[in-house]
Chains A and B, each alone.
Chain A
Amino acid sequence: MITTVTLNPAIDREYFVEKNEVMKNQFIYDHEDLKVYPGGKGLISAINFKALGYNDVQNIGFVGGKQGLFFEKMVQKYDIISNYIYTESEIRNNVKIIGREPATYTQYNDYTFKVKKEEVEELIVRFKRSISESECILMSGSVPEGVDFNIYQRLIKIAKNKGKHVFLQASGEALKLALKSEPEVVTPYFKHHKTILDLEMNDKEDYIKAGKKMQEMGAKRVMIPFHCDRLLFDKDGSVYQLSPKGYCIINWLGAGDAYNTGYLDYAFQTDNFDFLEANRRGGAAALWIAENKEIYLDDRKNYDCCLDRLEIKKLEG
């Protein structure tokens, strides 16, 4: 079984309009112009794994209220095993309004979701018993209000004590604290500020410094998004740069999750793991999403064709 963790899921609603204007009523008659889907980093990867043919994929996290039950139904539609702690607070709703002419993108991010201490402790208990069938756990995304930043640190510790591998995608304080539990693979993401471990990220040297610091703090392998590239830090101290060539990006949504899926899918399928090849697979999956309107992967064959457009060069080591 593959386990993914999404602590702060959301119902994402996208509205497509001709022109997004303030103080103007908009009318949507076409289903194509209104999309409602379950969002959350770990969850998108779970849907990807299911699409790639994995039989049992579960998503662990919090959902709340009546909208939480609606969210859970949407997740189950993808044949994902839902494993949620039901909170008193309602789940988040993110609204995106996309104007066609001129091309505009307005996003209303909902940060109202709150989790109680009792609910956090319930998640810990549920997590302990739910990972017994999993070899690897993907933890990804932000931490809702009410949950202490050491949550990933706690979850990783539990997983490691049970001999599981952990892939972590996190940011800010939650990332910093999680490194103490020594996750195998770490990929940070930027939320409000372009910082990693409180360090400002401006040029490539800053990114390399941050990657090495994360390894010093406990991560075995690190991948850092660097514009459209990735900087890769292998456990032997080598640093690489993965770059896509000749691309045309039309969609960022789901690309990072596709990267994580492609990386782990390779890891699950091979007996002879190669860090660079895993990143090539991840990069190809992300590139396919970025060049398409899709959020989710649907077949390995689709992104295999992107492999030739990825270059890896060694920077250090």
Chain B
Amino acid sequence: MSHVKEYMVRTMNSVTPDDSIRKAIILMYRSEQSVLPVVDHQNLFVGTIYSNNILKNIIPESFGFLDSSRLFYEVNEAVENLKYVKDEKVEKYMARNRDAVKENSDMKKIADIMLNNKESHLFVINDKGFLRGFIERSNLLHYLLDEAEDKRND
């Protein structure tokens, strides 16, 4: 049986609910991650902040359905909106889901969660709920490839 800890990425890259959206955005582009875990002041996982959630709150029309003639107007409005939103707290825009997985979880379970919930990115915690890192679809594919090649070798 393969475990999450064999395929996960170990990182404490995170924000807290009282961090600003500006800080979350800077962390997202510097770390090249569009989803960040939200932890409390003890590093316990409490939720997730998605770049999509921030975008949806600053672009008035539904994100992804902009026609080109309106794009310029929408982008300008988004910049104006961000001037206010950037100083707001992560708490307001985070998802308080607890869909984190444990380090010792079976990789087969991850495949289920990712495919059924359409999650591309899951945060990994230890048994006490402390953040340990994340696992994403490329890690899942890595596992599946290992399985496929192991079976072929058998």
Contact = CB atoms under 8 A, between A and B. Distances in A.
Nearest to A126: B12
Contacts of B126: 56
Contacts of A80: 10
Given A69-B32, A86-B30, A81 B43 contact: no
A12 interface: no
Interface stretch (A129-137, A211-219, A236-244): A129-137
Contacts of A49: none
Contacts of B43: 129-130, 132-133
A58 B10 CA distance: 9
A83 B16 contact: no
Q: What does DSSP make chain B's interface, helix, strand, loop or mixed?
A: mixed
Interface in A67-121: 69, 72, 76, 79-84, 86, 88
B27 A81 contact: no
A129 B130 contact: no
B31 A86 contact: yes
Q: What does DSSP make chain A's interface, helix, strand, loop or mixed?
A: mixed
Interface string B41-53: 1110000000000
Nearest to B16: A129
B31 A69 contact: yes
A293 interface: no
Given A128-B41, A129-B39, A129-B42, A84 B13 contact: yes
Contacts of B30: 86, 88
In this complex, the interface size class of chain A, counting residues with CB under 8 Å from chain B, is 20 to 34
A81 B132 contact: yes
Contacts of A79: 10
B37 interface: no
A129 B11 contact: no
Contacts of A72: 11
Contacts of B111: none
B9 interface: yes
A119 to B, nearest CB: 10
Nearest to B23: A122
Contacts of A130: 12, 43
A88 B30 CA distance: 8
B32 A82 contact: no
Contacts of A132: 42-43, 130
Interface in B87-137: 126, 130, 132-133
A79 B27 CA distance: 22
Contacts of A58: 12
Contacts of B39: 129
A56 B8 CA distance: 13
A84 B12 CA distance: 8
Contacts of A126: 12
B128 to A, nearest CB: 8
Nearest to A81: B10
B32 to A, nearest CB: 7
A86 B12 contact: no
Most A CB atoms within 10 A — which of B12, B32, B40, B132?
A: B12
Contacts of B9: 76
Interface of B: 9-13, 16, 23, 27, 30-32, 39-43, 126, 130, 132-133
Interface of A: 56, 58, 69, 72, 76, 79-84, 86, 88, 122, 126, 128-130, 132-133
User: Nearest 6 A-B pairs (CB), nearest first?
Assistant: A86-B30, A83-B12, A81-B10, A132-B42, A82-B11, A129-B43
Given A88-B30, A129-B16, A133-B130, 5 more contacts: A80-B10, A81-B11, A86-B30, A129-B41, A129-B42
